[in-house]
Structure 1
Amino acid sequence: MASKELPADKSGKSDDKKGGGLILPLAILTLLAAGTGAGLGIQLASSVEKVVSEKAKEKPPEPDSPPLRYASTDTVMEPLKPIVANLAAPSKTFIRIEASIIFKNGALADPKIAAAQIRDDIMGYLRTLSLSQLEGASGLLHLREDLDERARLRTEGHIDELVIETLVVQ
């Protein structure tokens, strides 16, 4: 079979050059889309800037939160040394507590001595607890209440609160 050549168009152009008519409209549409996108981006950015500047000019609302419980200057916080003790059951389980006592300035004659006495009392109390008494949120709440009550008894009611800062049971 003999190879056949395709006849040339009357204008003398072959078929591979006919796709050039599609590139020009695509380039124009691309430039038009890029220009429209840039214009919208600038417009949106300026409107966002206006809204942000208006919000910044507005006065922030007053917080509805009540004043802090111990915000006065006559309240003192005395940290206790970390307390580490074995629990009663299981005997290989230990507990570590870091706590602080909060009291009015001048309520305790010597806060360091009171803190040491409270620490010793808490250590003795922790040795009587079992792990099941500390489980869950209610266990933590009961522990907090018991330690707070023991600290108040030890200082004859001169402290306001015993705050548990950290509690680790291992």
Structure 2
Amino acid sequence: MSDVTQSSGETGKAAGGSLVGTLAAVAILTAVAAGGGWFLGGYISGTEQVPDQAMSDAAPKKKQEAKPLGEVVALKPILTNLGVPSTTWIRLESALVAKPGEEIAPEMAMNISDDFMAFLRGVNLMQLQGATGLAYLRADLEERARMRSEGKVERVFISSLVVE
């Protein structure tokens, strides 16, 4: 019976010793990680700080560089079914932004809208899923609008898109 108490006493000392060692290792690794993070944060952000005077001088230059928008022409909502599956309907509300100094005639806007409808009738539902699908749709619509307007359209804004 004394063998049992003796072996359990040694196990208690070993467990206590390994706990202190583990806590010391965790404390050292935490200090190393914090120091490394502080060093890398300073390295990434750069050592030179821009003075407030220089920042205030740079701000007006950014405002002067902004390009003005051209004429914005809202298109009538487009309601049509998709190509695949044909039972899925889509409603698109969009607007055309002309290049500065250019005008978009109502007939041209109507032709662009008809082209958008023809394009949407051939779209697969899988092409519209996710943020990239929406970005690709806008890029495709912009390309079609530029071709139809002979380069007068700069951007296409999608104000609403509902797929049912």
In which range does the TM-score fall when normalised by the shorter chain?
A: 0.5 to 0.7
Alpha carbons of structure 1 residues 134 and 121: separation in structure 2 relative to 1, 3 Å: same
Structure 1 residue ranges without an equivalent (≥5)? 1-60
Q: Which runs of 4+ in 1 moved over 4 A?
A: 64-70
Tell me if the contact between 2:71 and 2:102 (Cα under 8 Å) persists in the aligned partners.
no
Tell me if the contact between 1:117 and 1:154 (Cα under 8 Å) persists in the aligned partners.
yes
Aligned-residue RMSD, C-alpha = 2.4
CA displacement 1:21-43 (0-9 Å, x = unmatched): xxxxxxxxxxxxxxxxxxxxxxx
Identity of aligned residues (%): 41
Tell me if the contact between 2:74 and 2:96 (Cα under 8 Å) persists in the aligned partners.
yes
Pairing 1:100–2:95 present: yes
Alpha carbons of structure 1 residues 92 and 69: separation in structure 2 relative to 1, 3 Å: farther
Q: What count of residue pairs does the alignment treat as equivalent?
A: 107
Q: Which one has a bigger Cα radius of gyration?
A: 1
Give, in angstroms, the shift of residue 105 of structure 1: 5.7
Alpha carbons of structure 1 residues 131 and 112: separation in structure 2 relative to 1, 3 Å: same
CA distance, structure 1, for counterparts of residue 91 and residue 115 of structure 2? 14
- Which residue is equivalent to 1:148? 142
Pairing 1:117–2:137 present: no
Pairing 1:138–2:156 present: no
- Which residue is equivalent to 1:76? 71
Tell me if the contact between 1:96 and 1:168 (Cα under 8 Å) persists in the aligned partners.
yes
Higher helix proportion: 2
Give, in angstroms, the shift of residue 130 of structure 1: 1.0
Give, in angstroms, the shift of residue 106 of structure 1: 5.2
Compute the TM-score of the two structures, normalised by the length of structure 1: 0.56
Tell me if the contact between 1:78 and 1:111 (Cα under 8 Å) persists in the aligned partners.
no
CA distance, structure 2, for counterparts of residue 153 and residue 102 of structure 1? 14
Structure 2 residue ranges without an equivalent (≥5)? 1-54
- Which residue is equivalent to 2:157? 163
